Every structure is written in structure tokens, then in C-alpha cells.
Amino acid sequence: NAGVTQTPKFQVLKTGQSMTLQCAQDMNHNSMYWYRQDPGMGLRLIYYSASEGTTDKGEVPNGYNVSRLNKREFSLRLESAAPSQTSVYFCASSEYYEQYFGPGTRLTVT
């Protein structure tokens, strides 16, 4: 089992460009999450999906959109990237209390 996979691993964008971060899990979990990790801020929840077909905002949703494509996949889209979105992005999934994390995507917006 691969667990939670994320693509790409690294990305550099110019301000105003758009991109989609992909996440997939093979553990048949219902819930999936997107976090961003910034120095001194810990991890902050951007969006989550409690089940296929549902999504909801977390702490810091502005500037992002998500799609729960099916039970396995949960994508995060930046429509118009800004330097403030430079961060490491983590996807996670869970069935009960334990969340399983992907390896992260390091995004730089110049």
C-alpha cells in the first residue's frame, strides 16, 4: 500500500499562475484533508472532505478551492497564486481518529 500520495513534490509558480495539487489515498478512508505548514505556525487546515461528494472550509481557505473527485482523490487548486501561498502542503486521510499524511508538496510563489 502506498498510503497517501501527493504530486508534485516541488513546484515554483509566478504570481498569478494557477495550479492543482493532487492527492490520492488507497486506504479506503472517508475523510481527507489539506493542510499548509509554515514556520512558527504549525499545520493549518485549509479544506477537508468528510466523505465523497462533500467538502468544507478549514481555518485558512481563502485563495484555494478543492475537489473530492471520488473516494480516493482530493485535489487542491490555487486559481491565482500569491507569494503568501508559499508553503509546504500536506494531504491527509483518516477513518477514525488517526490521520495519515502524505509526503508533502513544497510550493514557492515568486
Partner 1 sequence: AQRVTQPEKLLSVFKGAPVELKCNYSYSGSPELFWYVQYSRQRLQLLLRHISRESIKGFTADLNKGETSFHLKKPFAQEEDSAMYYCALIYGSSNTGKLIFGQGTTLQVKP
| C-alpha span between 53 and 71 (Å, rounded) | 8
Q: Which of 7, 67, 86, 99 binds partner 1 (CB under 8 A)?
A: 99
Q: Which of 62, 74, 64, 67 is nearest to 29 (CA)?
A: 74
* Piece in contact with partner 1 (CB under 8 A), picked from 17-25, 50-58, 62-70, 79-87: 50-58
Contact 105, 86 (CB under 8 A): no
Cβ of residue 16: shortest distance to partner 1, in angstroms? Answer: 30
What is the β-pairing status of strands 64-68 and 56-57? unpaired
Asked whether position 25 contacts partner 1 by CB under 8 A, the answer is: no
Asked whether position 97 contacts partner 1 by CB under 8 A, the answer is: yes
Identify the DSSP state of 18.
-
Asked whether position 101 contacts partner 1 by CB under 8 A, the answer is: yes
| Contact set with partner 1 (CB under 8 A) | 4, 30-31, 33, 35, 40-45, 48, 50-51, 58-59, 90, 92, 94-104
